[in-house]
Amino acid sequence: MSNEVHSIIDLLMEDFPAIDFAAGPLLAGGAHRPQQMCVRIPPDHLLEVMCFLHDDGRCAFEQLCDLTCVDYLDFPNAADRYGVVYSLLSVSQGHRLWAKCFVNDPAPEVPSVTSIWKGADWLEREVYDLFGVRFTGHPDLRRIVTWEGFEAHPLRKDYPLRGQGERVNFERVTRDSA
């Protein structure tokens, strides 16, 4: 399994010589865990690389298994703040690859991959909702698990665990005001 992924990473480096993929395992070492490979893709090349990974028969990543984000605000030695993590899966060949796309404040923006994988729709909306990373080209970028009109992005590291008083300050609808 890992040989196939290594050959895919070689393919990527051949086809996109201008990009520094910084390929490496998500977590190095270990006797019992499988090696999970990750590449780094800059946001301005994201769509072309993702198209290649989806369309090329040797890669054949037909499924976007997961799309999430990590806020590296307090992480030791982190250079960028938001890392959007794509977990790609090839159903036909059974291999997985992780891809990370780093963006920063004040306007974190990543191109949307909904045109490549339909299943990216809600996953991108969730990341937008909870992290505030915008996905350009998303057909319907609305909040998904919190309510409309909520302004914060709760999974950011600078958002407190107990909230910012939303529960106390929530607009109350009474019989008279409704």
Partner 1 sequence: MTSTQQTSFEAAPATYAPETPGGDVWVLNLGPQHPATHTTLRHVLELDGEVVLSCTVHIGYLHSGFEKLGEHLNYNQYVVVTDRMNYVSPMANNIAWHHACERLFDIELTPRCKVVRTIMAELARIQDHLVCVGCSGLDLGGFTAFIYPFNARETINDLFEEICGHRFTTSYTRIGGLMQDMPADWPEKVKRCCTKVLPPALVDLEKLLTRNRIFVERTKGIGYINHDDAIAWGLTGPLARASGVRRDLRKDEPYLCYADNWDGKGSSAVDFKIPVSRGGDCLARYLVRLAEIRESINIIMQLADNIPEGPVDVLADEKIHLPSKGRVYSSIEGLIHHFEQIMTNRGLKPPIGEVYGANETANGELGFYLVSDGGNTPYRARTRPPCFVNYQCFPNLVVGHKISDVIAVLSGMNIIAGELDR
AA identity, residue 19: I
Q: Is 98 in the site for partner 1 (CB under 8 A)?
A: yes
Q: Is 115 in the site for partner 1 (CB under 8 A)?
A: no
Q: Are 81 and 73 in contact (CB under 8 A)?
A: yes
Query: Which of these, 99, 44, 107, 104, lies nearest to 80 by C-alpha position?
Result: 104
Options 9, 80, 146, 166; binder of partner 1; rule CB under 8 A? 146
d(CA 42, CA 161): 31
Q: Is 70 in the site for partner 1 (CB under 8 A)?
A: yes
Query: Which of these, 55, 57, 120, lies nearest to 93 by C-alpha position?
Result: 57
d(CA 109, CA 102): 9
Q: How many residues bind partner 1 (CB under 8 A)?
A: 45
Closer CB to partner 1, residue 15 or residue 145? 145
In the complex, the residues that contact partner 1 under the rule CB under 8 A are: 26-34, 36, 38, 62-66, 68, 70-71, 74-76, 85, 87, 91, 94, 96, 98, 117-119, 121-123, 126, 130, 143-147, 154-155, 159, 161
